[in-house]
A and B are shown apart, each in its own frame.
Chain A
Amino acid sequence: MSPAVRNAPPIAWPSLSDLARAIGMDLGALSRLGAIKAMRREKVGREVKVPPIEVHAFLVSRGLSADGAEREVEQIVQQRLSRLSAAADVEPVQIRGQLIRSTSESMRGPLRPAYLSDKRPDPNRPPRANMERLRALDERFKDKGHIPIEEYIARDRERDEY
């Protein structure tokens, strides 16, 4: 199994539905198998994912040849990985701008980076924490006493009017 597939992130792992399709078994029946229950599982969105290496072992135990099982796993994971890299190329969301209608499609999918303005991090300059700016803020607020931010956040959540 290729390192890319073996070390793929959980979002690219085969799902139980993939597994059911691969061996022509009903998903419900598959989920009840002891071998499946013993697998490490990661829930990603609505899908239950299982690690490629464990899927490979399971497929072999169900009668597939080692090569056949490997091809099956490689195909599923590589397909997901290619979709992921395509998603990584999408334009980040900028939250100040025209309203964009949400759809069930747009709400699914991998996390999408977002920015508050049209500025973007400079790829040639790694970001750094600006401690001088924080010290200037400390100086600015040094005589203000305690400002109960947590209480303000909690207060915003109280429903004192209906």
Chain B
Amino acid sequence: MSTDAELGFVLDAGAAARIYLLDVATRSVREIYERFVGRMHAPTMIYSEICGAWLNAVREERITWDDYWALRRAFQIDTDEGVIRLWSDEQLHHAAIEVQEELTRLYLDGRRHGSLVHAHDAYYAGLARNLRAETSDRVILITNDAKLWRGARALGLEVFHGNTCDLGIGRAHVGRPGSTFPEGANCAPCTFKRCPSTFYVNLDEPPLHLGSGVPSRASA
């Protein structure tokens, strides 16, 4: 791990969505969002993935159409202004396929990784790899998805799980807010009030994988 390299981040749809909608991951992703303007990256297909997720919330009547448009507008402004940089999917197809091929090889070799990541996710991992190769930057993939997290680790990428929290017990933990969290299910959305967690992403001297917790098999 080079200490001189500039830091860059690839955000997947779940991590990017948490910039705008509060949850456990918001604390960490907003810290990155505020400090690394223009150094957060995503493939263009994130747009349909993130809007699709917000539209599910509309269908379940958890948010209104107006809410949806506010979220969509906020994301678009950030990409228009270069706060989050988008990259064409066109040049990522081969990288995404190579990600899946390598995970298949690892699986057949009986090593490290049990399943393929979803096709969408292969583009995030492929973008992280290509950015690292093309820019020599230290690139960290940020995801709230355990499968992508495990796949990225198997590929040798640096990856941080956005839901990493120490729950106030001083040990990094990843999971869905629930019985193991300090305020139980009330930890979602994470509003930081009375929160006993002392976890923070150290962006001044970022540790390997940003000190990510390890998702359990059951976590999303």
Give the residue among A116, A128, A146 with the most B Cβ atoms within 10 A.
A146
Task: Tell me whether B109 is interfacial, beta carbon within 8 Å.
Answer: no
Contact status A116-B47, CB under 8 Å? yes
What A residues does B56 contact at CB under 8 A?
152, 155-156
1/0 contact trace for A136-154 toward B, CB 8 Å? 0110110011110111111
Q: A112-B91, A150-B14 are in contact. Are A128 and B74 (CB under 8 A)?
A: no
CB distance from B156 to the nearest CB of A (A): 11
Bitwise, B48-89 to A at CB < 8 A (1) or not (0) is: 010011101100001100010011001011111111011110
Residues in B neighbouring A126, C-beta threshold 8 A: 37-38
Closest-CB distance, B142 to chain A (whole angstroms): 13
Q: Give min CB distance, B81 to chain A, whole Å.
A: 5
A62 touches B (CB below 8 Å): no
- Among the listed B23, B38, B90, B189, which residue makes an inter-chain contact with A93, where contact means beta carbons less than 8 Å apart? B90
Docked complex Cα distance between A110 and B95 (Å): 11
B19 contact from A95, A128, A134, A147, Cβ within 8 A: A134
Identify B87's interface contact among A113, A138, A146, CB under 8 A.
A113
C-alpha gap A112/B21 in the complex (Å): 29
A9 contacts B by Cβ under 8 Å: yes
Tell yes or no: A114 within 8 A of B by CB.
Answer: yes
A interface residues with partner B (beta carbon < 8 Å): 9-11, 42-46, 93, 95, 102, 106-117, 119-122, 126-131, 133-134, 137-138, 140-141, 144-147, 149-157
Question: A42–B33 Cα gap in the complex (Å)?
Answer: 29
Given A115-B80, A127-B37, A128-B37: A147 in contact with B63 (beta carbons within 8 A): yes
Contact of B94 among A9, A107, A147 (CB under 8 A): A107
CB-nearest residue of chain B to A44 = B133
Q: Which 3 A-B pairs have the closest CB atoms?
A: A121-B82, A152-B56, A146-B188
* Contact of B197 with A by CB under 8 A: no
Nearest CB of chain A from residue B144's CB, rounded to whole Å: 5
- Kindly state whether residue B131 has any CB partner on chain A within 8 Å: yes
Q: Is the CB of A10 within 8 A of B88?
A: no
Interface residues of B (CB under 8 A from A): 13-14, 17-23, 30, 33-34, 37-38, 44, 47, 49, 52-54, 56-57, 62-63, 67, 70-71, 74, 76-83, 85-88, 90-95, 118, 120, 127, 130-131, 133-136, 144-145, 177, 185, 188-189, 220
When distances are taken between beta carbons in the complex, the residues of chain B under 8 Å from A111 are 87-88, 91-92, 127, 130-131, 134
Chain B, residue nearest A121 (CB): B82
Please report the C-alpha to C-alpha distance between residue A120 and residue B80 in the assembled complex, in whole angstroms.
Answer: 6
Contact residues in B for A106 (Cβ distance below 8 Å) = 90
CB distance from B135 to the nearest CB of A (A): 6
26 contacts between A and B (CB under 8 A): A9-B134, A44-B130, A44-B133, A44-B134, A95-B44, A95-B88, A102-B90, A107-B90, A111-B131, A112-B88, A117-B80, A121-B82, A127-B38, A127-B81, A127-B83, A129-B33, A130-B77, A130-B78, A141-B22, A141-B67, A149-B17, A150-B14, A150-B145, A153-B14, A157-B118, A157-B120
Judging by beta carbons under 8 Å apart, are A137 and B21 in contact?
yes
Residue of B with least CB distance to A7: B136
CB–CB B77/A108 < 8 A: no
Rounded to whole Å, the gap between the CB of A47 and the closest CB of chain B is 10
A137–B71 CA distance with the chains assembled, in angstroms: 8
Complex Cα–Cα for A154 and B148 (A): 12
Cβ–Cβ contact A149 & B57, under 8 A: yes
Distance of A98 Cα from B91 Cα, bound (Å): 18
Min C-beta distance of A84 to chain B, whole Å: 8
